[in-house]
Amino acid sequence: MKDFWKNQLEKNKKLVFLAPMDWYWDSAYRQAMKRVSPHIFCVSEFYSADWLIHSKFLADSVLPHNEIEDPLIIQIFWKDPEVFAKAAKIISESKYNIAWIDINMWCPAKKVVRSWHGSCLLINEQTAFEIVKHMHEATHLPISVKTRLSFDWNQNLIKFVQWLENAWASLITIHGRTAKQAYTWRADFTNIYDLKNHVSIPVICNWDIENYTDWMKKIQNLDGIMLWRASFWNPWCFIWIDQINDNKFIEKTWAIKENFIDWIYHPTLNEILKAMEFHAEKLNETKWEKKWSLEIRKHLVQYLKNFPWVKKYRKRLVTTDSIENTTLIINEIKQEFSEDLNKRPSLNEIEKKEENL
């Protein structure tokens, strides 16, 4: 089980991850992404290891999932190795078939760093080492780590990851900025390429990867990519060209070969609307009504990012409060743009309709 990664790499050539996202990540979103890109791995938003060991309710709300989401990765954060180990045991012994556990050494938020969690572990190599080691001893599941280039450029990335590898980390994801740079600054993967030459575990890069062309440029000697924002408006952004020519793969997804232009998948309006419908249906199946309406709104608007002509629908989508209302709006869009359903908004194939501006 611990060399799960190796088997996956042999099968998939490169590993592709949907990044963890606090507030955005739930079973419905994962199902919507896996419906069109069945090969991706989904990493959960971060959960407190301490909460997990003290709250059965939390475990029973965040670990259950649909089998389409497998293999599912659960990300946890905290600072004490013993707490991490207990949480790892709970996750691996649960009935929910979790595939592996990821440790958050990524989060740059002030309150997280001040309390010695998240990216703060980059300046506490010994604790970081102990965390991975304790977890490795507590569970048969593989342990991976998501972290950053460094905390403030004063740490040595290669040494840090070698420590984690010695503690039996199985895979590392590096976000191409330091914790101090937080959400600003361009991505710089140079140090990540160099890291790969000094460790034997798979190395995944993350930050600002848009689509297949972009990730082919950035992946270089690395083992995979992790992305999030791009998937918001194009759930097909995870697909690569070999898969488009693989009929078995095509049967599993909604992808159409013709929409793969210049190595980028350009979904049609109809495909985007279908993805919205599917996402809404899954959310309706998994969440209670009030929470449902709040959570679907941000997704619906993002799906239509390449479709600026539907402003009037956008306003209604951000206030939708039921599956019926959402379906009604989507059907109205379909009706108004019935001639444009097979056109690709990202290629500007749909002409402006003045009355909607």
Ligand X SMILES: Cc1cc2nc3c(=O)[nH]c(=O)nc-3n(C[C@H](O)[C@H](O)[C@H](O)COP(=O)(O)O)c2cc1C
Where do contacts with ligand X occur on this chain (CB under 6 A)? Answer: 19-23, 45-46, 75, 104, 106, 146, 175, 206-209, 227-229
Closest to ligand X by CB, 106 vs 292, is 106
Closest to ligand X by CB, 94 vs 302, is 302
**Which residues are bridge partners to 205 per DSSP?**
174, 225
Question: Closest distance between ligand X and the C-beta of residue 101, in Å?
Answer: 13
Question: Closest distance between ligand X and the C-beta of residue 327, in Å?
Answer: 27
Q: Is 116 exposed, middle or buried (0-12, 13-18, 19+ CB in 10 A)?
A: middle
Closest to ligand X by CB, 104 vs 243, is 104
Closest to ligand X by CB, 175 vs 279, is 175
Could you tell me where the DSSP H helices lie in 4-140? 4-12, 27-36, 49-54, 56-62, 81-93, 110-114, 125-138
Question: Closest distance between ligand X and the C-beta of residue 187, in Å?
Answer: 8
Rg (CA), the chain: 21
Closest to ligand X by CB, 16 vs 317, is 16
Question: Closest distance between ligand X and the C-beta of residue 57, in Å?
Answer: 19
Distance CA 103, CA 95 (A): 21
The single residue listed with the structure tokens 């991975």 is 132
Q: Is 99 exposed, middle or buried (0-12, 13-18, 19+ CB in 10 A)?
A: middle
Closest to ligand X by CB, 53 vs 112, is 112
Distance CA 4, CA 2 (A): 5
Closest to ligand X by CB, 142 vs 323, is 142
Q: Which residue is nearest to ligand X (CB)?
A: 19
Question: Closest distance between ligand X and the C-beta of residue 208, in Å?
Answer: 4
The single residue listed with the structure tokens 């029973």 is 60
Q: Which residues contact 27 (CB under 8 A, 6 or more apart)?
A: 64, 65, 66, 69, 282, 286
Distance CA 205, CA 223 (A): 8
Q: Is 169 exposed, middle or buried (0-12, 13-18, 19+ CB in 10 A)?
A: buried
Question: Closest distance between ligand X and the C-beta of residue 357, in Å?
Answer: 30
How far is the CA of 129 from the CAs of 52, 114, 132, in angstroms?
Answer: 21, 20, 5
Question: Closest distance between ligand X and the C-beta of residue 41, in Å?
Answer: 13
